[in-house]
């Protein structure tokens, strides 16, 4: 199995070519890429045309909608929204906005398995960032591309880690991008079997997301920590981490994230040979997916229940 952010004992709910292996990956990348950008003016400066503010507002609205679609796993819809956001960003001729929207488009294409197209847009974004004198965005773009190559098995983890370390310090001026760097580093360390170092890296990302109250990102950090612990064979502590992911996703009302949390919990319980808890977790995930009108994903999770042979013979869990 190629490296994915759910690699290890977790199985995929949706086949890789449909983008599920990215889970909230794309949504989190959008959140890191699209930081608020405000116009600065003073009473002595010439006023800019009102249309510019209108275009910026429209672009921000599209980005917000794309975030929501990606949060629910609807990457095609998110890409469509970002394509229109790109058109508007071009009209504003603001380099940082153009670069960030292009990076978001590339992330969406990667989530959809359209890697060659993503690579071209990433290259274009890096060239523009360098030309515009945006060193943080140059480094961010390089880390995104490295992470993409790691996830798709097009680069070995040693090389990926080296590339991330080369760029990581340059991301520090931007908190969310800095957290993204820690996440990419942790994924490479996980692939190298350096589980303690990997967890420390993800914890550094978590510290940023928790402090800044980015609930979905913090939930995803706990999800990754659970994955690291599970791969290392620490199943009990993996469940503890998934409980934290559920807690943050509930606060964020992030339904798709919750479905993935419960699916992963079922997988870990299955590894622990606790089939009752596994079935209850998978059922909860399937319920959420059906409520979200995602019947195909729900059926995929329900297939685990059938394979367990315990769907009609579940003992009542202990309340303690």
Could you report the per-residue pLDDT of 77-127, keeping only the tens digit for each?
999 999 999 999 999 898 988 998 998 899 889 889 898 999 999 999 999
Ranges 57-61, 113-117, 188-192: which has the least confidence: 57-61
Mean pLDDT of 286-298: 95
Q: Looking at the predicted structure, is the pLDDT value of residue 253 above 70?
A: yes
Q: Looking at the predicted structure, is the pLDDT value of residue 163 above 70?
A: yes
pLDDT at 228: 97
| CB atoms near residue 311 (< 10 Å) | 14
148, with CB counted inside 10 A (0-12, 13-18, 19+), is buried
Q: Is the dihedral of CA 277, 297, 184, 179 positive or negative?
A: negative
Do 28 and 216 meet the contact criterion of CB atoms below 8 Å apart? yes
Q: Looking at the predicted structure, is the pLDDT value of residue 23 above 70?
A: no
pLDDT at 67: 81
Burial per residue of 189-219, b for 16 or more beta-carbon CB atoms within 10 angstroms, e otherwise: bbbeebbebbbebbbbbbebbbeeebbbbbb
pLDDT at 207: 98
pLDDT at 4: 35
Mean pLDDT of 163-188: 95
DSSP 8-state class, residue 48: P
pLDDT at 55: 85
Report the distance separating Cα 263 and Cα 279, nearest Å.
10
Mean pLDDT of 147-165: 93
Q: Looking at the predicted structure, is the pLDDT value of residue 310 above 90?
A: no
pLDDT at 49: 52
pLDDT at 69: 84
pLDDT at 48: 52
- Which pLDDT band holds residue 54 (cuts at 50, 70, 90)? confident
Nearest to 272 by CA among 245, 304, 233, 308: 233
């Amino acid at each position: 199995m190629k490296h994915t952010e759910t690699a290890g004992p977790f199985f995929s709910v949706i086949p890789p070519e449909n983008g599920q292996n990215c889970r909230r990956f794309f949504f989190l990348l959008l959140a890191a890429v699209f930081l608020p950008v405000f116009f600065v003016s003073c009473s002595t400066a010439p006023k800019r045309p009102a249309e510019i503010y209108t275009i910026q507002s429209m672009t921000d609205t599209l980005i917000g909608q794309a975030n929501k679609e990606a949060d629910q796993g609807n990457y095609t819809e998110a890409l469509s929204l970002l394509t229109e956001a790109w058109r508007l960003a071009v009209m504003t001729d603001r380099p940082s906005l153009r670069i960030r929207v292009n990076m978001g488009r590339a992330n969406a294409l990667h989530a959809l398995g359209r890697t060659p197209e993503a690579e071209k847009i990433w290259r274009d974004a890096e060239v523009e960032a360098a030309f515009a004198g945006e060193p943080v965005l140059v480094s961010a773009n390089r880390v995104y591309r490295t992470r993409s190559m790691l996830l798709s098995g097009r680069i070995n983890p040693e090389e990926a880690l080296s590339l991330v370390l080369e760029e990581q310090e340059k991301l520090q001026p931007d908190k969310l991008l800095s957290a993204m760097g820690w996440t990419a580093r942790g994924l490479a360390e996980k692939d190298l079997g350096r589980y303690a170092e990997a967890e420390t890296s993800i914890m550094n990302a978590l510290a940023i997301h928790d402090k800044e109250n980015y609930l979905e990102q913090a939930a995803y950090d706990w999800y990754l920590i659970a994955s690291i612990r599970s791969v290392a064979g620490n199943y009990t502590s993996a469940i503890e981490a998934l409980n934290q992911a559920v807690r943050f996703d509930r606060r964020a009302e992030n339904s798709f994230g919750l479905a993935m949390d419960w699916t992963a919990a079922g997988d870990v319980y299955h590894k622990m040979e606790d089939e009752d808890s596994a079935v209850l977790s998978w059922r909860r995930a399937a319920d959420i997916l059906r409520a979200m009108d995602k019947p195909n994903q729900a059926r995929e999770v329900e297939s685990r229940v059938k394979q367990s042979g315990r769907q009609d013979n579940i003992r009542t869990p202990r309340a303690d």
